[in-house]
Amino acid sequence: MIIQKKAWKEISHEIQQYSEELFQAVDDIAVSTDIFYEAKYSYGENILLNGKLAAPEVQQLTELHYAHIPLSIILSKNCELYVDNQIRCIPLDLLPAGSIFGSYEVLDQAFGLSSKPIWSITAGVKNIFSLQKLTELIKFKKLQQQYRLQDNIIPYNYFKHFDLFKNIAAAERDDWECRVLFFPKSVIQPAIEHKPSHSLLTQFITKYSWQSVNAAIDMMQSSLQWEKISLALSQMNIKIDQHSIEVLKHLMKISQAKMPGFKLLDNENNAPLSLFKFALSEVYRCRYKPDIMSLAGIQEIHRQKVFYSFLHPTLLDGNPNLSEQLRSYFGFAERLAYIIHVLNTKIPDIKMPIDIYSSKKSTNSNHHIKSNQIINTTVDHTNVTKSRFFHCVAEVSKVNDAM
């Protein structure tokens, strides 16, 4: 990580590119002595870790100590927002360039409230994995030699692939970098103190924070909607176990663009894709096309279909181990597909644009579950039919008018 001091006139044009409102609020008050801090992160470096600035170089800047998390904006590349509960990493969203964080914590300071953020942010995507297994030891030895890798990062499951990719990027010193701008105390503190001169900035911070509150309200509305669904299932004498409930709730949140899904990684914004593809195809020598899956942010769900694999659980609630240990994932998926079909056909105001596929499904069967061989995606067909991710997967579209 590298950090540089920036005067407002050096950086203001980039702020204006992403947010005219924020630019006007700061341009109205910034003076030549105000120093902003631009940090450049390599792929996989933590920006925030469990609610705190991760890099020591940034932690030591007293000009950023006005809130638990200073007001910040991502200037280039994408970042992943997640929660690490010491058992697993739970993805919450993918933040594109122009995203702002820290506004909620600044608002807490402005009103004297206790702020205890628990989320983390990493430069680039953290939930990333190759669709092919990378555990053939002879082939992996070539990766170790080429990129000076340690034995403890052998990717035995999808969750371990991030460590592999992070180390490959570090070994190559790739030019991929994520830039984040931190706003200094000299600019933000007067807004915290409600100074009239900083009223535009105070209004912006309040408005941006309120959008986060609206997201929380949406989550509550989803819970109320589930109560309606539960009653309908009960009236139709359809019983559903707790794990199926949690998975179905999660799929509904994805379809309502309230939780992220997964997509094929097809550009460099999330990670140094070309470097990783070279490592897998030319060094490791993957048997098939080295397709890489990546977290798809909530904004992306508005534009394209995304996937959620029952065998790669990223549930916010519930017990993910039940998904990982499903012995009869076809039976589980078929049951879930039936319930979705019933809700879509029997309850007029319930909309679940969710299709479920399984590798065990016969293409000639008439059940509600579909064969993964007919998934329409740019992922290589061999990777779709052979990878664990697509063995039991839901394809989710955005609800046009989510309730």
Containing 303, the helix (H) or strand (E) segment is none
Can you tell me which residue has the tokens 């809700």?
A: 343
Show the CA angle centred on residue 398, arms to residues 397 and 402, nearest 5°: 140
pLDDT tens-digit map of 325-367: 555 778 888 889 999 999 898 887 788 999 999 988 665 565 7
Containing 123, the helix (H) or strand (E) segment is strand 120-123
Give the whole-angstrom CA distance, residue 293 versus residue 307: 10
Token pair listed for 322: 């039940």
Give the whole-angstrom CA distance, residue 283 versus residue 280: 6
Helices (H), 148-279: 161-172, 185-192, 199-235, 242-255, 273-278
Across the beta sheet with 46-49, the strand order is 52-53, 46-49, 120-123, 79-84, 89-95
The pTM (predicted TM-score) of the whole model is: 0.93
Chain centroid, CA 119 distance in Å: 12
Give the whole-angstrom CA distance, residue 342 versus residue 211: 34
pLDDT tens-digit map of 53-73: 999 999 999 999 999 999 999
Give the whole-angstrom CA distance, residue 166 versus residue 43: 6
Give the whole-angstrom CA distance, residue 73 versus residue 53: 14
Show the CA angle centred on residue 10, arms to residues 5 and 11, nearest 5°: 85
Low-confidence ranges of the chain (pLDDT < 70): 213-223, 318-327, 361-366, 401-403
Containing 93, the helix (H) or strand (E) segment is strand 89-95
Give the whole-angstrom CA distance, residue 2 versus residue 386: 41
